[in-house]
Amino acid sequence: MNQSSQVFAIVAGEASGDILGADLIRALRKLFPDATFEGVGGPKMQAEGFQSLFQMDRLSVMGFVEPLKRLPELLDIRRSIIQRYTANPPMAFIGIDSPDFNSGIELKLHGAGVKTIHYVSPSVWAWRQGRIKKIKKSVDLMLCLLPFETSFYQQHNVPVCFVGHPLAGQFPKQPDTEGARQKLGLNPQAPVLCLMPGSRSGEVELLAELFLDVAEQVQKAIGAELQLVIPAANAARHQQLSQILAGRPDINAQLLEQNSHLAMESADAVLLASGTTALEAMLLKKPMVVSYRLGAWTYRLVSPFIKTAYASIPNLLADKILVPEFIQDQATAENLVAAVMQAFDPGQQQAVIAEFEHLHMQLKVESGDLAAAAIAEVLDQ
């Protein structure tokens, strides 16, 4: 194989992948000082000397309709990448997240003899486990952000390495709750409940009214001094939540546009939709209650394919019910109110926070250096 000298090909399709890519380039350059880096990446990767052959935002598509509209362009980009690195093989191809786009490239290049690495495991351990067959044929190494992910790959004889989660390094060991309340103009002495009903329109539609019902009952139990903070993920969610709150004049809540970290940091407890937010709340050491609802038909379709015992990342990391989670039919106001009230209990808070600190330290490692060392080992084989 006529390998291109000291070239690493990297494809990242999202802003989060751009952050990981920049960190990885810095680490790889320590081990391969003469290496060059090219492919698809964003401004952070380009600031490290990366040459992006296509604009990264052309790959950043969400939902069902937009990818279909852009399918011809996406297929052209993928075909071009495959042709380029089949004709001029790099030292390695590294696909960062974006599994739907990168998996096809990895399969073709791996078949052509190129070393292939995928950075950020798809949730194959939880959902559609049959995908592992294609992964096994496509990659020489899977780099995982969460430690529990590695056992699934080991069971299927896929080389794997845990490299820590980049979010862990972005949060301090102790949150500045008082400072966050000051910035938001909240009473530093009065309790705060943060509500986070999701970042997508459908999530807010299914969870916002339920969360407000819970907040109303918790406010009656704790007293009028309870402060409610609701960060909206973006302008569209802010408008959607504003309309919902307009129909609930009995509820006094501070609605923010974005600022989710600040809102959580100000809180004594967080009621949230299952997802990455639960990891962020854990890193902020905030007692939480996790909930999620899907449309009835959607849940019937997807539930047979879900293979994990827990829905939230803190519970998956701890391998036990560390935080209460209520999914679908269990997501009732009665269940959530009882759990939120318990989250405000000082004794309960102390025990949970100690567990969160341990998990934070487990995730807080030098991700780029670990990833680079694992890639170098693959190249030596």
Dist CA 126 CA 146 (whole Å): 13
When mean pLDDT is compared across 15-19, 93-97, 377-381, the lowest value belongs to 15-19
Query: Number of H helices and number of E strands within the chain?
Result: 17, 13
Q: What was the pLDDT predicted at 381?
A: 83
pTM over 0.75: yes
End-to-end, the C-alpha distance of the chain in Å comes to 15
Confidence of residue 295 (pLDDT cuts 50, 70, 90): low
Q: What was the pLDDT predicted at 288?
A: 97
**Nearest to 140, CA basis, from 93, 104, 97, 102:** 93
pLDDT at 33 over 60: yes
pLDDT at 115 over 70: yes
- Tell me the residue range of the domain where 120 lies: 7-164+365-380
Q: What was the pLDDT predicted at 129?
A: 65
Place of tokens 């990168």: 102
When mean pLDDT is compared across 62-76, 233-247, 363-377, the lowest value belongs to 62-76
pLDDT tens string 252-282? 999 999 899 999 999 999 999 988 899 999 9
Range picked from 81-85, 129-133, 149-153 for highest mean pLDDT = 81-85
Number of independent structural domains in the chain: 2
- 258 in a domain, yes or no? yes
Dist CA 59 CA 56 (whole Å): 6
pLDDT at 64 over 50: no
Amino acid sitting at position 284? L
Residues 101, 192, single domain; the answer is no
- 334 in a domain, yes or no? yes
Dist CA 185 CA 187 (whole Å): 7
Residues 248, 371, single domain; the answer is no
The beta strand positions in 280-349, using DSSP E, are 288-292, 325-327
Query: What is the mean predicted confidence (pLDDT) over 215-234?
Result: 93
- 8 Å CB contact between 41 and 70: no
Dist CA 97 CA 13 (whole Å): 7
Residues 323, 371, single domain; the answer is no
Q: What was the pLDDT predicted at 67?
A: 56
